[in-house]
Structures are given as C-alpha cells and as structure tokens.
Structure 1
Amino acid sequence: MNNWINRYVAAVVGRLPENERAEVTRELKSSIYDMLSENPTEAEVKHVLQEMGSPAELAEEYRQNPRYLISPRIYDDYIRMLKVLVPIFALIIGAIGAFRGGIEAFQTNGIKMTEVFELIIGDGISSGVSGAMEALVLITIGYVIAERTGMIGDKKKEEWKLEDLPQPQEGKLIPLSDPIGELIAAFFFCGWLALIGLGLAPFVAFTNDQSVEGVALFSDSFAMKVVPIMVVLILLTVISSLKKITQRRWTSQVCFWVIVDNLVSALLWIFLFMQRNIFSTEFIRMMQEQEWSSGDVLHYISTGNTTYIQLIICGIIVVVTLIEIGSAIYKTAKNTSVQATVA
C-alpha cells in the first residue's frame, strides 16, 4: 500500500522545485490518507490515487509559480527535452565555432599565439551561446505548435495509468556538470584530432619571430587511423553522457554504458599510442632542429625512441580505466541498495 502512495507522491513532487517538495509531500500524503479508510486495501489505495489524476497535472496545481505557455500535461517533457538538446546544440555549435576560429587563426600570417587562443575561445563561446539560444527557441516553438495543433497533449492524459508510476528515487543525483564536461572535452579534444587527421587543421604552431609556422603533425598512415577512432570515441561519450543527463542517477543502464565507453576508449587509445611512425617527417625534422634536454619528452620524439613513453602512457590509461569502471560499479551498487530500501 505504502509503495503505491510513495510512488505517486514521488511522481508529483519530482516535478516541483526543491524548495517546494518537502511541504507538498506532507500535504499530499495527508490528503491521501484522509481519503482512505483506517485499514485500506490495495484496491482502495489504487482507486483513490487513480481518482486524484495525473501526477503531472496535480503537480501544476501545487506549483507556486504556474506556467502556461506550455501546458502542465507536456511541460515536464518539454523541460526534459531542453535539458538534453540545448547543451548538445551548444556543444556542437561551439565546437564548430572553435574549430573554425582555429583554422582561421592558423591561416593568418604573423598572428601571435595569444591571439590564436583568443580567437579559438572567443569563437567557441559565442557560437555555443548562439547555438543554445537557437535550440531553446526552436524547441519551444515546436512544442507550442505541436500542442496547439493537437499533435501532443490530449492523448497523454488519456493514457495515464497508475501502473506507469516510477519507483520513488532516492540518493544523490549525478551533477549535470559531469556529463556536460565530458561532452565538451570529447568534442574539443577528439574533434580537433579528427580535423587534424582529415587535413582540415593539419598544423602544429611554433612561434618564430612573433609569427606562427605550421607543419603536419601526423603521418599519413597514422592520420587514417585517427579519424574513425575519434568518431567512435565521440559517439561513445555522447551515449554515456546522455544516459547520465536523462536518468540523473547511477542505474544499470548508466553503469553499462560508462563501462563500455571506458573499455572501448581505453583499447582504442592504447591501439593508437602503440603505433609506429605516429608523427610526420616534417614534424620530426623540426623537433631535431631544436635543442632539448635529455629528460624532455620532445627529445625522445626527435630521436624516435618513444617505446618507454608509449608503455608508460598505456599503463596510465589502464589504471585510470580500472578506477573509472570500479567507481561506476560502486556508485551503481550503492544507488541500487538505496532504491531497494525505499521500495
């Protein structure tokens, strides 16, 4: 009996701001128990909850600041869609803007390194903000039109059933900053390497008399491997990050995709780092023209003796991957135990 009531109350207050949930929980439970007999049966509880109506509409009645541009029936779906698509649009458009700014900078003769970074960061931020605003406007207009034309809304109300109530969720939420940060890192770092492999940004910058010189970074054979691998890494990060954004807790699905992301990514990075002839002959020649200390990584690149460095990097990748997988399993197990206690 209490499980049905807890699930219904959780479905209602989960749609409210944090500062309103405690009071609404007490008030709603009091109202439900007032409508029940002293020893209610499960059938009676289900009948009372069904009569109270959709949790989405009831939540809107409790809300202190009602919203009417998007109706209560679809407002939660609308917000959920914004949380997923707006950051993605911002990241993609921001990454494109940063790449465009980087290419423009490296094609400009006599530009300083500080100006290069300013152009990349400036274009990335401005494009990201623009992409977020465009996504917000387009999604809002789409939902308004869809609801006004009857494409969504009414059918959802008819299809609501008590059995569709989710189990009450407890435990810590996954901070949105975690998956969003992972997406930013993947798009900028892996995307930049993919562009280098495609030859769209094939330069490494060196300051020489306040100017920027450029040489190809990767050898042709290595570049052919980088592009598809970077695409796979980005896709895996997008999937695992979206799971975190949509579910917000360490569920079995989130854990599965995090493990897959880490395992596959580790194998692909190790595969790349163990390749021979990673760098182009022009890059190695430029390294050989410079003076490096014996302990400098660039010294080993210039001499071609990078075996030990590659093994150390691969070892670090393995250790980090095991830590990430262990952390994901621990957090999922902890969340599962909390949910079992609540249920």
Structure 2
Amino acid sequence: MDGQHYMERYIQEVVRRLPKGQRVEIALELQEMIQEMLSADGEEVTVESVLLKLGPPKELAKKYRDDRRYLVSPEYFDNYLWVLRIVLLCVGLSVIFSAVVNFFLDPKQAKEAAMELLYLPSGLLAAFGAVTLLFVILERLHVKFEPSQSSPWNPSQLPPLLQKKAVISRSDTVVGLVFIVLFCMLLTFAPQVFSLYLFSDSKELTMIPVFDMEHWNVILPLILASMMIGLVDEVVKLVTGRYCGAVLAVNAVTNLCQVMLSFVVLKMIPFWNPEFFSWLRKKCDIPDLLPYITEEAFSNLFLGLIVFGTALELGTTAYKSLRYGKN
C-alpha cells in the first residue's frame, strides 16, 4: 500500500483523539516528524517501519495529553461541551416557555406561572449534573467504540480514511438532542400544552388535555425513561462521529428498549384522555369513521408509527454502518 496513504491514516487516528483546537497543528507536526524520520534513516526505510517506531496511534495521542488531569478527558471534552450547551439552552428555554404559556392560558394564575421560573436554577443544575455524569461514565468505562487489540500493533491495522458517508452529521445529532430535551421539559413542566383548545362564544378558553392526566404520575416517568434512552443513543453517535458496528449495536438496543416502553405506555396504561375522544366523536360527521375514533385505535396507530420509524432508523444505521463504517 502507498506510504503516503498509511501516513494519512495514522495521523487521522492520532488527532481524532485530541481536542479539536489542537488537531490541525499536531497533524502538521506529525507529518513533518514522519518526513524527517524517513529522510534521516535513509532511503530504504519505509513509512510502515517509521509508524512501527512511533507505536499505536492511541498511545502516541496520550503523549499529547494527560487524561489524569481531567474529570472529562480531552478526547471527550469537545463533545461534552457541545452536548452541555445544547441541553442547558433547551432546559432554560423550556422552563421559560412553560411559564409564559401558563400565564397566557390563565392570566389569573400569573403568580403560579412566575413561580415556575424558580425551577430554572435547579433544572439547569440537574441538567449539568446529568450530562457530566454521563460523560464521566463513558470516560471511566473507557468507552472508545474500538475493537480490542490482542496482537502487536501494525500499520496495516489502521482503519481506512473516513468516507464522507461514514461520518455521522453533527447537525443531525444536535436536532435529535434538542428535540429530546425540549419534549422532556414540556412534558415535565407544561403537559397541558398538549391539549385541544376551544373558545366559546364569549371567547372563554376551554382546554381538553390529550393525555390522561389522572395517570400522569405513571405515564411521565416511562416517557422520560424512553427519551433518556434516546439521549444515550444520540450522545454515542456524537462521541463516535462515524458509523460503525458499535453505533449499530447501541442503536439497536436503544430502539428496542424504546419500542418496549412505547408498548407499555400505549397498550397497558390509560394513556389518552376519554374526554378528548368524546369530543372528537361528537364533531365527526362521517359515521364510518366513528369506530376508528377510539383510544385503542389511536394507540395502535401511534405504536405502528413508532415501530415503522424505529425500523427505518435502524435500517438506515445498519446500512451505513455495514456499507461505509467497516474498519
């Protein structure tokens, strides 16, 4: 194989383990060092032998950083800050939004709506702790999503240069993180947002919640658990940055768990508000549709959509991981 190609793959594997701000500088430094080693040792020395002297990329990367000085090491720190900023922003906006919505829905309860803002510091602190704990666990468990190495390292073991289609889009991951956090915060602080809004002739507002609020203390923890499982999947994608077997395995497990929780919520617990369906049936002018306007029919529909969406996502991840993510 071409020596230049080996060198590019080696440098790629070293710098991806370093803080983002140092990668360009260290990549140039490594390239210059390898070129000097080639010229200093004579013409018969190959790039492969030079790389063997330098050792495995992950060991060389350790020389540029000291993991023991950090709660979250530089290998994770850029992604940690990225996720932390997104989560804190979403939590803050969600609490403020829920307070504003509650005020406009019932101006007489302005004091209660303002009191919701008192949850902002504790919400931000809890979000900070949760994100930090997640990355500390990933760090302490040495979750690198790399195959174990039993034989001595050799340049032939270097993964190929990443294809563009093998890279997981950071923007897609951000969209997933934002949706999960916002949805969780709205369900926690303002579940009444998910309601049917009716105005009488006197312009008096009547709200019919979509969910069964009498069982909300059981429903909410299950939905939040499902969302947190999805959050883990998004963080793994962000940390890994590319499609591979580990990403596929995590995606399969998290999707399976989410489908199971969805089944429990939609089929085993009173999830829908009966008053909501009573109003829909009264307003329905098509008799043939009446048998389908039931809690069970809607649960089956939503569960089917969840299974379809999960299968589509898992299929896409499997295709990209197997097609483009092979080492």
TM-score interval, normalised by the smaller of the two chains: 0.5 to 0.7
Structure 1's 273 and 104: CA in aligned 2 closer, same or farther, altered over 3 A? same
**Quick check: 1:215–1:282 contact (8 Å CA) kept in 2?**
yes
Q: Does 1:99 align with 2:98?
A: yes
Question: How do 1:77-96 and structure 2 match up within 5 A?
Answer: 78-96=77-95
Contact 1:174 1:250 in 2 (8 A): yes
Instruction: Report the alpha carbon displacement of residue 330 of structure 1 after superposing the two structures with TM.
Output: 1.4
Q: Which moved more, 1:19-28 or 1:88-97?
A: 19-28
CA distance in 2, matches of 1:321, 1:328: 11
The residue number in structure 2 matching 1:9 is 11
2:40 maps to 35
Residues of 2 paired with 1:31 and 1:321: CA distance? 51
Q: Write the mapping of 1:1-343 to structure 2, written as runs, cut at 5 A.
A: 5-6=7-8, 8-11=10-13, 14=16, 29-37=34-42, 38-39=44-45, 45-47=51-53, 78-108=77-107, 167-168=158-159, 170-172=162-164, 173-195=167-189, 204-208=196-200, 209-220=202-213, 222-274=215-267, 277-284=270-277, 286-287=279-280, 291-294=283-286, 300=290, 305-337=294-326, 339=327
Deviation at 1:231, TM superposition (A): 1.4
- How far apart are the structure 2 equivalents of 1:281 and 1:40? 75
Deviation at residue 24 of structure 1 after TM alignment:
7.5
Structure 1's unaligned 5+ residue stretches are: 60-73, 112-122, 140-161
In structure 2, what is the equivalent of residue 64 of structure 1? none
1:324 corresponds to which letter in structure 2?
Answer: E
TM-score (norm 2): 0.62
3-state SS, counterpart of residue 188 of structure 1:
helix
Normalising to structure 1: TM-score of the pair?
Answer: 0.60
Query: Which sits farther off after the overlay, 41-50 or 176-185?
Result: 41-50
CA drift at 1:83: 2.3
Give deviations 1:32-73, integer Å, cap 9, x for gaps: 4223431359776444579xx9558889xxxxxxxxxxxxxx
Q: 1:78 to 1:317 in 2, by over 3 A?
A: closer
Q: Distance in 1 between matches of 2:34 and 2:109?
A: 70
Counterpart in the other structure of 1:68 = none
Task: Give the count of matched residue pairs.
Answer: 277
- Amino acid of the structure 1 residue aligned with 2:186: W
Unaligned runs of at least 5 residues, structure 2: 66-72, 111-116, 133-151
Go from structure 1 to structure 2 and tell me whether the alpha carbon gap of 1:306 and 1:11 turns closer, same or farther (over 3 Å shift).
Answer: closer
State how far apart, in whole Å, the 2-side matches of 1:227 and 1:205 are. 22
Superposition deviation, residue 279 in structure 1: 3.4
Change (3 A) 1:257 1:181: same
Aligned-pair distance for 1:321? 1.9
Shift of the 250–235 alpha-carbon distance from structure 1 to 2, 3 Å rule, reads same
Change (3 A) 1:54 1:300: same
Equivalent residues of 2:102, 2:190 under 8 A apart: no
Query: In the alignment, what sits opposite 2:113?
Result: none
Return the alpha-carbon distance in structure 1 between the equivalents of residues 6 and 318 of structure 2: 29
Give aligned-pair identity as a percent.
16
CA contact (8 A) 2:211 2:273 kept: yes
Displacement of 1:227 in angstroms is: 1.0
Cα contact 2:219–2:269 (8 A) shared by 1: no
Q: CA deviation at 1:276?
A: 7.3
Contact 1:110 1:212 (8 Å CA) reproduced: no
AA matched with 1:31:
E
Cα distance in 1, alignment partners of residues 53 and 24 from structure 2: 30
Note if contact 2:38-2:46 (Cα within 8 Å) is conserved in structure 1. no
Q: In 2, are the aligned partners of 1:13 and 1:24 still within 8 Å (CA)?
A: no
Whether contact under 8 Å (1:205, 1:212) holds in the other structure is yes
**Residues 195 and 202 in structure 1, CA contact (< 8 A), matched pair in contact too:** no
Secondary structure of the corresponding residue to residue 259 of structure 2: helix
Q: Given residue 205 of structure 1, which amino acid in structure 2 is its aligned partner?
A: Y
Deviations 1:78-110 (A, max 9, x none): 534322322222233333333333333323269
Residues of 2 paired with 1:258 and 1:23: CA distance? 35
Q: Which residue identity lines up with residue 221 of structure 2 in the other structure?
A: P
Distance in 2 separating the partners of 1:320 and 1:224: 27
1:12, distance to aligned residue in structure 2 (A): 5.3
